[in-house]
Amino acid sequence: MDSRPSRAAGEDGMDDDTLDEGCYYLSRLGLSARDIGRRFEISVGDALKRGKRYQTRLDRGETVEDPVSLDFWKSVREEAEGNVKVTFVSGKGFHHAWRSDLKGFDGATLLAIYESCKDFLNMDPNARFLQYDAPKNYDPLAMQREISKAVVVVGNLLEEKWKEEQRKASREDPSH
């Protein structure tokens, strides 16, 4: 992102420069102009035009490609596709993971994460950080929200694993 003043914000609050940047980086990440347009609720032509406009700014040296911006837009893409990032707690502290990473864990690991998160949520709020170090830039309510989100995500993954195990068991033993 560059230091020049951005153009006026649209109805949704996103300014034109940010929209241009998003169209450019999301196209670099492999999204089609149609998908980008759908996500930003703009036409395919507008998505193409905005991506090209940002490319022109890069070519002119008005801005530079930034790995941090690419990572940001990658996160936006992941979350838009339902692959949310969650913060969870274990005996070793706080961790961050994408839902897709957690999906690869076995049922026992997911259950341990789920139980650790539930235990954290059930702790006395004042005692939480006697056992765990407070994360950087600590906001006491933020962790409650993040761990609650992790409980929902991990709970859904456990349910999927359980259903998958039930399907496997019924295929292996057709008498049930």
In this prediction, residue 21 carries a pLDDT of 93
Percent of the chain residues topping a pLDDT of 90: 26
Rounded distance, CA 75 to CA 25, Å?
Answer: 11
Chain-wide mean pLDDT for the chain?
82
In this prediction, residue 2 carries a pLDDT of 43
Residue with tokens 């690991």: 109
pLDDT: which is higher, 140 or 18: 18
- Tell me the pTM: 0.54
The residues pairing with 9 across neighbouring beta strands, listed in sequence order, are: 15
Helix axes 16-28, 44-59, angle to 10 degrees: 90
For the cut 50, the answer to whether the pLDDT of residue 119 exceeds it is yes
Mean pLDDT check: name the lowest of 13-17, 27-31, 75-79, 86-90. Answer: 13-17
Q: Mind listing the pLDDT tens digit for each residue in 57-72?
A: 999 999 999 888 888 8
If you ran DSSP here, which 8-state letter would residue 111 be given?
H
In this prediction, residue 23 carries a pLDDT of 93
In this prediction, residue 11 carries a pLDDT of 46
